[in-house]
Structure 1
């Protein structure tokens, strides 16, 4: 699990194995395998770093 910060400041944990794509549009959007989307404060490189630290 990785910790991310939603655009409204709420912190949540996401299973990095279920992340399908991460886009910068310009906000960072995490798209999960089930189709759910989360707009987050972290940049794409920050998300990649968090996933690779596991």
Structure 2
């Protein structure tokens, strides 16, 4: 889970596994795999940094980094 802030200042946690797309236009908008959209205060780069950290914590980043090593 990653911590984010809605535009109204409300903090919430988000399961980063459900993020399909992140856009900055200019507000950062996160689209989930279910098509829901969340607009957050954090800049896109910070959201991506938090997602990578989350993936490291749950061990997914190592799996992604190793994909294709045996090919």
TM-score (norm 1): 0.96
Considering fraction of residues, name the structure with more helix: 2
Matched positions, count: 54
- Tell me the residue number matched to 1:23: 23
Report the TM-score, using the length of structure 2 for normalisation. 0.74
C-alpha RMSD of the superposition = 0.5
Gaps of 5+ in 2: 55-71
Q: Which structure's residues are more often strand, by fraction?
A: 1
With CA pairs under 8 Å and 6+ residues apart, which has the higher RCO, 1 or 2?
Answer: 1
Q: How far is the alpha carbon of 1:4 from its aligned partner? A: 0.4
